[in-house]
Amino acid sequence: MLDFRRALVRTNRFKGARQVGPSFVPSYADMEGFYPLTTMFPDVVLSIQGSAHTYCSPRSGGIPPGDYTALEVAIMGSGSFLGLEDFPGLRFENPKRYEELLEVFSRALGDDVFGYVPVAEIQRLCEVFRITGEHVLPGGTLVAMDSNPGLKFSVGV
């Protein structure tokens, strides 16, 4: 099974900070991170982020994706943040697996993004959503993650 971190492609969109009150904060749209991964669902992407400004461990940017032990994840579709419960059609060989993932990827947790998610849980999510190996670039352009067309994720949920 392919480690999802091999599919991540870093983008450095940091253009500087903006002033908010007496302090400077980075603009979310300008942060360094990874391009979103497309899924088997039309218009649904997994945003998996690791930088100095996201909920990840280590909380650092510019390091190889394989060095992260936990990352920030958002499930996004049609302009909205989603949770696993928004996909009632997902089928699991083991119903307990769904309950385990729901404990991590549910909107009921009260946030739009899921922070400090261990890479093993993200791997399971990528298997469930069957990431396609393409990235969504600015403007909605899709690009393949690798020049090797045989590089695929296996599905075993």
Any residues with CB less than 8 A from the CB of 34 and at least 6 apart, and which?
8, 9, 10, 11, 47, 48, 49, 50, 65
State pTM to two decimals. Answer: 0.75
Q: Is residue 146 part of a domain?
A: no
Q: Is residue 20 part of a domain?
A: yes
Q: Is residue 147 part of a domain?
A: no
Q: Is residue 150 part of a domain?
A: no
* Longest Cα–Cα distance in the chain: 53
Burial class (CB in 10 A: 0-12, 13-18, 19+), 90: middle
Q: Is residue 143 part of a domain?
A: no
DSSP symbol at 140: G
Domain that holds residue 39: 4-136
Indicate the residue type of 45: V
More confident residue, 17 or 46: 46
Q: Is residue 15 part of a domain?
A: yes
Q: How many domains does the chain have?
A: 1
| pLDDT tens-digit map of 37-96 | 888 887 888 989 988 888 999 998 888 889 999 999 999 988 889 999 998 877 777 888
Query: Measured between alpha carbons, how far is 157 from 89 in angstroms, rounded to an integer?
Result: 14
